[in-house]
Structure 1
Amino acid sequence: MNYQEPSIEIKNVVASGDLKQQLDLETILKFSQGAAYRPQEFPGIIYRLRKPRTSVLIFNSGKIICTGAKSEKDAKKAIIKIVEEFKRNGLLILNQPKIEVQNIVATGDLSGRIDLEKTAFILKRTIYEPDQFPALIYRMEKPEVSALLFASGKIVCAGAKNEKEVKLAIIFLSENLEKEGAISHENLIPENSKLLKPQLIHA
Structure 2
Amino acid sequence: MEPEIKIVNVVVSTQIGTDIDLEYAADVLDNAEYEPEQFPGLVCRLSDPKVALLIFRSGKLNCTGAKSKSDAEIAIKKIIAELKEAGMEIIDNPEVSIQNMVATTELGMEPNLDDISTLECTEYEPEQFPGLVYRLSDPKVVVLIFGSGKVVITGLKKIDDAYTAFNKILTTLKELEEEFY
Instruction: Provide the TM-score with structure 1 as the length reference.
Output: 0.76
Distance 1:61 1:108 in 2: 37
SS in 1 for 2:165: helix
Q: Deviations over 1:49-88 (max 9, x none)?
A: 1111101111111011111112222123222321232223
Structure 2 counterpart of 1:58: 55
**Does the 8 Å contact 1:5/1:171 carry over to 2?**
no
SS in 1 for 2:117: helix
**Does the 8 Å contact 1:15/1:65 carry over to 2?**
yes
Distance 1:22 1:73 in 2: 26
Distance 1:79 1:11 in 2: 18
Structure 1 counterpart of 2:120: 124
**Is the counterpart of residue 136 in structure 1 residue 132 in structure 2?**
yes
Q: Deviations over 1:102-135 (max 9, x none)?
A: 11122221111112233334x4312234455432
Map of 1:142-157 to 2, 5 A cutoff?
Answer: 142-157=138-153
- Letter matched to residue 13 of structure 2: S
Structure 1 counterpart of 2:4: 7
Report the alpha carbon displacement of residue 97 of structure 1 after superposing the two structures with TM. Answer: 2.3
Structure 2 counterpart of 1:177: 173
Unaligned runs of 5+ in 2: none
Distance 1:77 1:109 in 2: 30
Identity, % of aligned pairs? 41
- Letter matched to residue 158 of structure 2: N
**Does the 8 Å contact 1:36/1:47 carry over to 2?**
yes
Report the alpha carbon displacement of residue 37 of structure 1 after superposing the two structures with TM. Answer: 1.4
**Is the counterpart of residue 108 in structure 1 residue 89 in structure 2?**
no
Structure 2 counterpart of 1:166: 162
Structure 1 counterpart of 2:76: 79
Q: Deviations over 1:12-61 (max 9, x none)?
A: 21111113511111222232111111222222211111111101111111
Change (3 A) 1:163 1:80: farther
**Does the 8 Å contact 1:6/1:111 carry over to 2?**
no
Distance 2:128 2:20 in 1: 46
Distance 1:130 1:39 in 2: 37
Report the alpha carbon displacement of residue 181 of structure 1 after superposing the two structures with TM. Answer: 3.4
Higher relative contact order (CA 8 A, sep 6+): 1
**Does the 8 Å contact 1:72/1:163 carry over to 2?**
no
Q: CA RMSD in A?
A: 2.2
Report the alpha carbon displacement of residue 6 of structure 1 after superposing the two structures with TM. Answer: 2.9
Change (3 A) 1:45 1:131: closer
Report the alpha carbon displacement of residue 171 of structure 1 after superposing the two structures with TM. Answer: 3.0
Distance 1:163 1:90 in 2: 38
**Is the counterpart of residue 29 in structure 1 residue 26 in structure 2?**
yes
Instruction: Provide the TM-score with structure 2 as the length reference.
Output: 0.85
